[in-house]
Chain A
Amino acid sequence: MTSSEPGSKPTKRAWVTMSSYKDMAISKALNAGLQQAMLKNEKVLMFGEDVAELGGVFRVTEGLYKEFGQSRIFNTPIAESGIVGTAIGLAMRGYRPVVEIQFDGFVFPAFNQITSQLAKLTYRSEGAMQMPVVIRIPYGGGIGAVEHHSESPEAYFAHTPGLRVVTPSNPNDAYWMMQQAIESSDPVIMLEPKRRYWQKGPVNLDTAPMPLHNARVMLEGTQVTLLAYGPMVTAALQAAEIGAEEGVSIEVIDLRSLSPIDYPTIMASVKKTSRAVIVHEAPTNVSLSSEIAARISNEAFYNLEAPVIRVGGFDTPYPPAKLEEAFLPDADRILEAIDRSLAY
């Protein structure tokens, strides 16, 4: 780290003080959430590949280097294990590191540090150590990218005890969940739906909508519960809209948190509708939907009118971009599954 620190005095951007809603894209909302966290707590550090002057390849950290300087946000060598491993050491020293993994498919060199160290240090130390580290990962497909840039690795992390895993689907959640993740004393994997980065929506700058690990009923319905998260929430809402036109009442739930999962909200809905369809981009084999389906069959067995149906990517590696449209679930695939559910 060099001693030159551009803009070492943090200043609030004009809109931050506005006590109202502001429309912004998800990437901008994440950026604003990061800025707020850095303003609130000087122990919050940000680092990763190309996050400083450039602002990251998706510009999620844009402007932060200029505002907070090299001692708060810096580029690292291109070494993901090094990024997460040093974040752990900085957390031991009392910092709250927020690190960026450039793309979903690049997280695996850090897998050992995440699963065998970050996730286990609080347990190993019997609570003597806390690991307030946030790992930001742009994830999911739909952007026509080359291999390793479109993956959905959430199940690996949700399966790992000691980690918290969250994913926002809209700008308001992006803004607030980012700040809540940074405030958590446990490690949080923040999965950012990269193909929705440019999707705009209102952000309430004054009040957090709900705790980090709560699911949200996005749309109330009576005939079937549709569970989605991250990039698939948009597709789920589209499906519900089309369904409504066709006279099918779909309740859409955005899980928001993948570990822990807000089961009370899911079960309340399934007990009401008696049907559940789960959608995600990841392969369905041993996935989030496998677990949720198992839990629904345990906790709402007598309420079910149909088996839980899952809509996901196929159990293949992520295909070349020219095939991704057929690989990824969309509103039509979701509605096809809902039809099957309603046929029981």
Chain B
Amino acid sequence: MTPENQPPMLQLLAPDGTYGVPKGYEAYGKIIEELDQDFLKLLYTDMARIRRFDIEATALQRQGQLGLWVPAIGQEGAQIGSGHAVGKNDHIFPSYREHGVALTHGVELISILKMMRGVNHGGWDPEETRFHHYAIVLATQVLHAVGYAMGVKLDGKVGTGDREKDLAVISYFGDGATAEGDVSEGLLFAAVNESPIVFFIQNNQWAISSHIDSQTKAPLYTRGEGFGVPGMRIDGNDVLACYAATRLHMDNARSGEGPFLLEALTYRIGAHTTSDDPSKYREDAEVDEWKAKDPIKRFEIFLRRQGIGDDFFEEVKVAGDDLAKKIRAETFALEDPPLGNIFNHVYTEQHPEIDKQRAWLEAYEARMGDHE
């Protein structure tokens, strides 16, 4: 399945929907074989839901309702698979395209759109959801994740064997972000501190218009080796491989085995953002080739072979359309934030200059309001 010049890659589900466990990867297969059918259906439902959401968000941006949209179509397998494998105490540090991971951790999807509309800069509670805020400056979140994992270890919540207590951290970033120094520093700090963290690279092969070939000369799954962080490549369009690998390596991290790096090889079917025009830098043929490896399509074939029939798929489709309608209505109902939000939470404690400027703007608005 893998071309001879390509590095080894864990794949459990081939693009044609055939399930098989390659030799040496039995531990990953075992994780999948223990899953019940309801959970498999959940993986499918969430992939379909987040794709439908993505299409709706793009439409909302085109209609002027959002300032920007960052599509993740094509990456649902990597995001839903890994997201569902993250444990109930674990913490997630995303980049800005992890809408699918957000969905698996109870983040209200409208709060992502709020941010893209310009209502706020964050908008969900990172403590409650354990899904931290989107990081727009590439790779900054990787160091936050490592620091958090260092803290988890200082708290003694690694390797106790108590599943209720232990936790690990997962940090998402893309192929483009791997060029940032913060990724290298994060790998190093995690290695020397033996931190409980999994670095999850979604290699979607395009950093805006720059192809992966101009971002690295060595496969990304080897990026951690020089720092002492082992890694492996997984098929990012195979939701089962992504689930199994994340589950196994988060379990390892939680039990004190130190950091690990996963490179999920996937593809950004859409544009980098709604401001981008990918037809300027890549061929349609390449996109078509990857559409044939679609994560949702191959999983549907797999589920149908498990005996899941039309009713289920029809139900998911209807639920997706309902979600889109709901999101559309919620977006239209979003109110602009109050002017006071310019000044709120710049500091947690009193700040005389901010207070003065807040008072000035209030007075100015009141005064100018009279002339309208």
- Write out, one digit per residue, whether chain A residues 110-140 have a CB within 8 A of any chain B CB (1) or not (0): 0011001100111111111110000000000
Residue with the highest number of chain B CB atoms closer than 10 Å, among A85, A123, A186: A85
CA distance in complex: A68, B345 (Å): 34
Within 120-154 of B, Cβ neighbours of A (below 8 Å) are at 120-123, 125-127, 132-133, 135, 137, 140, 142-154
A86, closest chain B residue (CB)? B147
A86 touches B348 (CB 8 A): no
B residues contacting A by CB (< 8 A) are: 120-123, 125-127, 132-133, 135, 137, 140, 142-155, 181-182, 185-186, 188-189, 192-194, 341, 344-349, 351-353
A90 close to chain B: CB less than 8 A: yes
A90 touches B148 (CB 8 A): yes
Chain B residues with CB under 8 A of A121 = 133
**Chain B at the A interface: mostly helix, strand, loop or mixed?**
helix
A92 touches B352 (CB 8 A): no
B152 touches A93 (CB 8 A): yes
Given known A-B contacts A123-B346, A126-B345, A81 and B143 have beta carbons under 8 A apart: yes
Among the 9-residue stretches A71-79, A232-240, A327-335, the one with 4 or more Cβ atoms under 8 Å from chain B is A71-79
| A residues contacting the other copy or chain, number (CB 8 A) | 45
Chain B residues with CB under 8 A of A89 = 143-151
Chain A residues with CB under 8 A of B352 = 260, 263
- 17 A-B pairs (CB sep. < 8 Å): A1-B194, A79-B189, A81-B181, A81-B182, A82-B189, A85-B142, A85-B147, A86-B143, A88-B147, A89-B144, A89-B145, A89-B151, A90-B151, A112-B140, A116-B137, A126-B344, A164-B347
A85, closest chain B residue (CB)? B143
A89, closest chain B residue (CB)? B147
A144 close to chain B: CB less than 8 A: no
Chain B residues with CB under 8 A of A112 = 137, 140, 182
Closest beta carbon of chain B to A232's beta carbon, Å: 23
Given known A-B contacts A81-B182, A85-B147, A92-B148, A116 and B344 have beta carbons under 8 A apart: no
Closest beta carbon of chain A to B176's beta carbon, Å: 16
Chain B residues with CB under 8 A of A184 = 349
Please count the residue pairs between chain A and chain B whose beta carbons lie under 8 angstroms apart in the complex: 135
Chain A residues with CB under 8 A of B137 = 112, 116-117
List 3 A-B pairs, minimum CB-CB distance, nearest first. A89-B147, A85-B143, A93-B151
A residues contacting B by CB (< 8 A) are: 1, 45, 71, 76-77, 79, 81-82, 84-95, 109, 112-113, 116-117, 120-130, 161-162, 164, 184-186, 260-261, 263
With contacts A86-B150, A95-B154, A117-B144 known, what are 7 further pairs, Cβ within 8 A?
A1-B154, A93-B151, A112-B182, A113-B182, A122-B345, A125-B122, A127-B345
CA distance in complex: A162, B140 (Å): 17
Chain A residues with CB under 8 A of B150 = 1, 86, 89-90
B133, closest chain A residue (CB)? A124
A132, closest chain B residue (CB)? B348
Residue with the highest number of chain B CB atoms closer than 10 Å, among A84, A109, A126, A263: A126
Closest beta carbon of chain B to A110's beta carbon, Å: 10
CA distance in complex: A214, B342 (Å): 25
B345 touches A185 (CB 8 A): no
Closest beta carbon of chain A to B348's beta carbon, Å: 4
A122 touches B348 (CB 8 A): yes
CA distance in complex: A271, B185 (Å): 51
A45, closest chain B residue (CB)? B154
A77, closest chain B residue (CB)? B188
Chain A residues with CB under 8 A of B347 = 122, 162, 164, 186
CA distance in complex: A162, B146 (Å): 23
Closest beta carbon of chain A to B67's beta carbon, Å: 16
B185 touches A82 (CB 8 A): yes
Closest beta carbon of chain A to B102's beta carbon, Å: 15
B143 touches A126 (CB 8 A): no
Residue with the highest number of chain A CB atoms closer than 10 Å, among B132, B153, B344, B348: B348
A113 touches B344 (CB 8 A): no
A92 touches B189 (CB 8 A): no
B143, closest chain A residue (CB)? A85
